[in-house]
Chain A
Amino acid sequence: GAGVSQSPRYKVTKRGQDVALRCDPISGHVSLYWYRQALGQGPEFLTYFNYEAQQDKSGLPNDRFSAERPEGSISTLTIQRTEQRDSAMYRCASSSEQEYEQYFGPGTRLTVT
């Protein structure tokens, strides 16, 4: 079946603009995770959902970052008033209810100019 998909794949925005990054998990996966990966580093946890409930948002850097998953499927990560330091690869992963394995999508490369 199809894997995790993310859109857009690339996003260039000007400092101060808001951006919304979308993640479509593997069909049937109840858990959805957002990570941020800097070049040459491992993914850094941001937040995750079980169904539509946000379970942990301790990794969100500040209150400009928010995420939602209103129907327990597609999720959106929103960054308000973007700053240059927000430039990174944003990755989404999902896992099924009975397993712990997380499967990553291709990521969205965000560049803030």
Chain B
Amino acid sequence: QQQVKQSPQSLIVQKGGIPIINCAYENTAFDYFPWYQQFPGKGPALLIAIRPDVSEKKEGRFTISFNKSAKQFSLHIMDSQPGDSATYFCAAPPDSGGGADGLTFGKGTHLIIQP
């Protein structure tokens, strides 16, 4: 049974700062690790995802860093803006099967970017 531990539970950062959210997982049969962003009253929206064989992926101001040996991955938000204030979820695939299987999500990080 996959388990995902996400930290911190909440985070407050000044505008322009670099919030970092961390996730740790147990064993996976497939390396695919997405991050989702969720605003109040909305569904989770896919933000960025990393696939096998790379240790970092950047999309705009968002970066995923992946440490396979430590079974950890993290989300960095560069030049953070108040509009980035949301709840962020990491997810991991199950410990058997493929990348199309159901995901296990972390408990979420409530991020506030102060103006």
Q: Are A44 and B105 in contact (CB under 8 A)?
A: yes
A48–B101 touching, CB < 8 Å: yes
Known: A100-B32, A101-B34, A101-B49. Is A43-B100 also a contact (CB below 8 A)?
no
Contact of B44 among A47, A48, A104 (CB under 8 A): A104
B7 near A: Cβ within 8 Å?
no
A-B contacts, CB under 8 A, total: 58
Q: Are A104 and B103 in contact (CB under 8 A)?
A: no
Residues of B within 8 A of A69 (CB): none
Chain B contact residue count (CB 8 A cutoff): 25
**Is A103 an interface position by the 8 A CB rule?**
yes
B99 interface hit (Cβ, 8 Å)? yes
Chain A: minimal CB distance from B23 (Å): 11
Known: A40-B108, A101-B34, A101-B49. A45 touches B102 (CB 8 A): yes
Measured CB to CB, the residues of A under 8 A from B are 31, 33, 35, 40-48, 50, 55-56, 59, 91, 95, 100-107
10 further A-B contacts with Cβ under 8 Å, apart from A41-B107, A42-B106, are: A35-B102, A41-B108, A42-B108, A43-B89, A45-B102, A50-B100, A100-B34, A101-B49, A104-B43, A105-B43
Which residue numbers of B lie inside 8 Å of A, CB to CB?
Answer: 6, 32, 34, 36, 42-46, 49, 51, 89, 91, 93, 97, 99-108
